[in-house]
Amino acid sequence: MVRWFIALLLGACLAACAPRVPTAEISPDRALERVGPESLSLGADDLDRVSLEQGIRNSLRYYERLPADTKFGFGRDTVPLERVKRSLETFLALLRESTSWEELAQGVRKRYLIYQAVGKGSNHEVLFTGYYEPVIQGSLTPDDLYRFPVYGVPADMMIVDLEKFRPQYRGIRLVGRSQGNQVVPYFSREEIDTGGALAGKGYEIAWVADPVALFFLQIQGSGRIRLSNGDSLRVGYAASNGRPYRSIGGVLIERGVVPPEEMSMQAIRRYLLDHPEKTAEILNTNPSYVFFRRVDDGPLGSLSVPVTPGRSIATDPTLFPRGALAFVECQKPIFAKDGVITGWQPFARYVLNQDTGGAIRGPARVDLFWGSGPLNQTAAGHLRHDGTLFFLLLKDE
């Protein structure tokens, strides 16, 4: 019966969904353009080789799970899975054989094709933001302190991939639930957190004391819940309610309570801490809601493999090849001894495209994973700089 209702819903909403197809305002075949190796400086990487190897191995783990006939889009080029795997395997061999980043760069220039994200403007700029792994205090049982539930995926939530019905709707999904004889959008944040739509239904994984920390756990997509006995429960992204993402930072700017030049995750926290009476209303302006699952390893990205601090990025999965090797140029913070950011300096490094995010849409957005800890949280919360993004693909030899 539910499938019959889904069919009715599809027929009614395909036309309505059509304007949403270009969520990135660009087609996948135009998101990357092939460029010459002189377009970027491959001879420098500001991180260690161990983390790069780790990131590559995690992408290879992902590729091992895919069907052999899987294809990847590198701009106008459609590439089979085997070639993308060989791109990583060959790079890993070059990395282990080389004695310097410049020696590695020579091998890459000789054996790889370079694709640049079209980004925005004539300089192909890409806006970089950051995310991290939060650690928050929680409990496996609710009480007067731990009142806010961390939900797993509800059993009544349905996900419909429209591409399976019509190819032109690639990357568009419907998330809903049955209500009587129809399918309706799934519950919003306000309906879940304020209205208690899921309360007492057995979907709770844990409970936390701080609703703002829980909100940012959802924004980051994974994290650890530290229990009173010293143990930690690691949770990872499992699904979302399909509602559109709205930045509460943007809401605070629109309302004139936080200046744009001062906006950061830390500024949002400070405002909500100073105005607890407004917390629920402000959080509810973002109807998007994330559901979690317990994980043993992690933190996990959208490929269900661990993301590596400094080496994993999140991009729009409808435009860029998942798990692929990339190279980025951007800015990183300079910290004083007290953890305050005193300035920014350029960096360049190899990364792996291993994650996605609700706000990461289009050819001009990248989210960089920083890791855990106070400094990485500060860096992630303040990074909002333009840079460039390139993807590397082994030549078809």
Residue 370 belongs to a domain: yes
Q: What is the pLDDT of residue 21?
A: 34
Cα separation, 228 vs 372, whole angstroms: 20
pLDDT of residue 1: 36
Residue 43 has pLDDT above 90, yes or no: no
Name the residue range of residue 352's domain.
28-132+300-394
When mean pLDDT is compared over 42-46, 162-166, 277-281, the highest value belongs to: 277-281
What is the reported pLDDT for 6? 36
Write the DSSP assignment of 114-160 as a string of letters: EEEE--BTTTTBEEEEEE---EEEEESS--SS--EEEE---TT-EEE
Q: What local confidence, expressed as pLDDT, does residue 359 receive?
A: 78
- Answer whether residue 218 is part of any domain: no
Report yes or no on 196 lying in a domain.
no
Domain membership of residue 331 (yes or no) is yes
Across 3-12, 31-40, 211-220, least confident range: 3-12
Q: What is the pLDDT of residue 163?
A: 83
Least confident of 14-28, 144-158, 299-313: 14-28
Confidence category of residue 23, pLDDT binned at 50, 70, 90: very low
Determine the pLDDT at residue 122. 86
Contact 166, 253 (CB under 8 A): no
Distance, in Å, from the CA atom of 299 to the CA atom of 83, rounded to the nearest integer, reads 27
Residue 330 maps to a domain: yes
Per-residue pLDDT at 19 exceeds 90: no
- The total domain count for the chain is 1
Q: Give the pLDDT confidence score for residue 24 in this predicted structure.
A: 42
Separation CA 31–CA 115 (nearest Å): 9
Q: What percent of the chain has pLDDT over 70?
A: 93
**Higher per-residue confidence, 181 vs 112:** 112
Domain at 310, CATH number: 2.40.40.10
- Supply the pLDDT for residue 2: 37
- The tens digit of pLDDT for each residue in 326-369 reads 999 999 999 998 889 999 999 999 999 999 887 789 999 999 99
- Is 193 among the domain residues? no
For residue 315, the model assigns a pLDDT of 97
Residues 6+ apart with CB under 8 A from 396: 83
pLDDT at 287 over 80: yes
Token pair 């969520």 in the structure block, residue: 23
Q: What is the pLDDT of residues 61-110, one digit of tens each?
A: 999 999 999 999 999 999 999 999 999 999 999 999 999 999 999 999 99
Residues recorded for the chain: 397
- Model confidence at 5, in pLDDT bands (50, 70, 90)? very low
The whole-chain average pLDDT of the chain stands at: 89
Categorize the per-residue pLDDT at 18 as very low, low, confident or very high, splitting at 50, 70 and 90.
very low
pTM for the model stands at: 0.75
pLDDT of 391 reads 98
64, part of any domain: yes
Buried-exposed string 94-128: b where 16+ CB fall within 10 A, e elsewhere: bbeebeebeebbebbeeebbbbbbbbeeeebbbbb
Give residue 20's pLDDT: 33
Residue 287 lies in a domain: no
In the predicted structure, residue 378 carries a pLDDT above the cut 50? yes
pLDDT tens digit string along 259-276?
A: 998 888 889 999 999 999
